Amino acid sequence: MTTNILIAGVGGQGLVLTTRVIGTVAFSSGFDVKTSDVIGLSQRGGMIWGSVRFGSDVHSPLIPMGQGDFLLGLEELEALRWVALMKPASTVVLSQETIFPNRVLIEKEPYPTDIPSTLAAAGLRVVSVDARSVAQRLGNLRLANTVLLGVLSTYLPFPAATWLQVLEDNVPKHTVELNHAAFQAGASVA
């Protein structure tokens, strides 16, 4: 039995670190793990995504179509892009963050309205989080992903202590306390 998490966002949002943290937590909790990140050209504001798969014996680092259990959307439009990858009734932890893609900036296409409702209409369970506001209250917008990890953690079978340890190992030393606070804030939002 493999659990599949897809992380979707925009280049520059810190997705690689987010993927690494989830993967390391799963691994430290005793699971076999495969992760994947799209790195390269897309880092320049393009669409990026990562995957974490954990279970007893994981082969592919990529999630087959229709097999996603959890979708962590760092940005609304990017979450919407992956609907077909998800299982029916799977869970989306969605940041209330919108970043206009180029086609929208140059007014060639509109940014979709009310993405959470569209996701819900597609049969997904949407947990919409104002991660940016929580991060802002803590004093640093870059903590938004850690807030989201806190929310996601409530759906996953890993102890909170493991999350906190892995965060400590992976974020800059002077931000450990803030990241822990952001994680706890996320965990209590859910």
* Site residues (vs other proteins, CB under 8 A): 10-12, 20, 23-24, 27-28, 30-47, 55-57, 59-62, 64-66, 77-78, 80-81, 83-84, 99-112, 118, 122, 141, 166, 169-170
CB burial readout 102-116, b (16+ within 10 A) else e: eeeeeeeeeeeeebb
Q: Which is nearer to other proteins, 66 or 139 (CB)?
A: 66
Question: What minimum distance in Å lies between the beta carbon of 115 and other proteins?
Answer: 10
What's the min distance (Å) between Cβ of 72 and other proteins? 17
Angle between the N-to-C axes of helices 144-153 and 131-138, in degrees from 0 to 180, rounded to the nearest 10: 120
Q: In which region does residue 45 sit, left (phi positive, over 0), alpha (psi from -120 to 50) or beta (all else)? A: left
Please state, in angstroms and rounded to a whole number, the distance separating the CA atoms of residues 145 and 153.
12
Is the CB of 78 or the CB of 182 nearer to other proteins? 78
CB of 87 to other proteins, least distance (A): 11
Closer Cβ to other proteins, 78 or 185, answer by number: 78
CB of 109 to other proteins, least distance (A): 5
